Amino acid sequence: MIHLHCTFSSSFGDFTIIWKEIEGKIRIQRMFVSDKKLSAEEKTLGFFPDSEPSSAALINKQGKHIQRFLSGEEVKFDLSVLDFDRCSEVQKKVLIAEYNIPRGWISTYKRIANHIGLKNGARVVGNSLARNPFPIFIPCHRVIKSNGELGGYQGGLAMKRALLELEGIKFSEKGKVISTSIHY
């Protein structure tokens, strides 16, 4: 089954949505954001070398939602368009927990692990989010380390911080998150 992709621009650089049609329905397989090393398009062709550029009304709608989100608007994404089949059950639980963190709130890897029943599972949560196939749809920028440091992010730490700041999150002079709005 062929993969299709469409690249959009944003204030954070380009992002690419990859999808395929499954039983007559468009299912998003992956999304890539550009970073300092590779563009979203280069990442797409690295993971899906046979992917073809295309467009579809549903994908264009999702691309516009992401552009609005990246410009600071509040957007709630519809997870029913995402294909979680490539995710393990644990990763899916992590991603759903992450998705449910409200805009303007943060959580920690440890809190999410505890919430989904993974005792001492902060590293598992971190690894699941590092491989998040749906950045932005699943707003993994909202998870930080327990000590207030940012942790990692697919689009880079500058993007993670900027996204948090767009949501009203403040930072100390040392770059640690300052927030009383902590989920889970």
Tens place of pLDDT per residue across the chain (184 aa): 689 999 999 999 999 999 999 888 999 999 999 988 899 999 999 999 999 999 999 999 999 999 999 999 999 999 999 999 989 999 999 999 999 999 999 999 999 999 999 999 999 999 999 999 999 999 999 999 999 999 888 888 999 999 999 999 999 999 999 988 889 9
- Per CATH, which fold does 4-81 belong to? Nucleotidyltransferase; domain 5 (3.30.420)
Query: Which pLDDT does position 30 carry in this prediction?
Result: 97
Domains 4-81 and 88-178 equal at CATH topology level: no
Going from N- to C-terminal start, the domains of the chain cover: 4-81, 88-178
Instruction: Report pLDDT for 23.
Output: 87
* DSSP 8-state secondary structure symbol assigned to residue 148: S
* Alpha helices (H) along 5-84: 40-47, 57-70
What is residue 65's predicted lDDT score, i.e. its pLDDT?
Answer: 97
What residues act catalytically?
140
Show the CA angle centred on residue 71, arms to residues 31 and 6, nearest 5°: 30
**161: enclosing H helix or E strand:** helix 157-166
Q: What Cα–Cα distance (Å) separates residue 2 from each residue in 51, 137, 141?
A: 7, 22, 30
pLDDT score, position 134: 97
* Fold assignment, 88-178: Arc Repressor Mutant, subunit A (1.10.10)
DSSP string, 92-130: HHHHHHHHTSPTT-BEEHHHHHHHTT-TT-HHHHHHHHH
Query: How high is the pLDDT of residue 155?
Result: 85
What are φ and ψ of residue 20, in 5° steps?
-145, 160
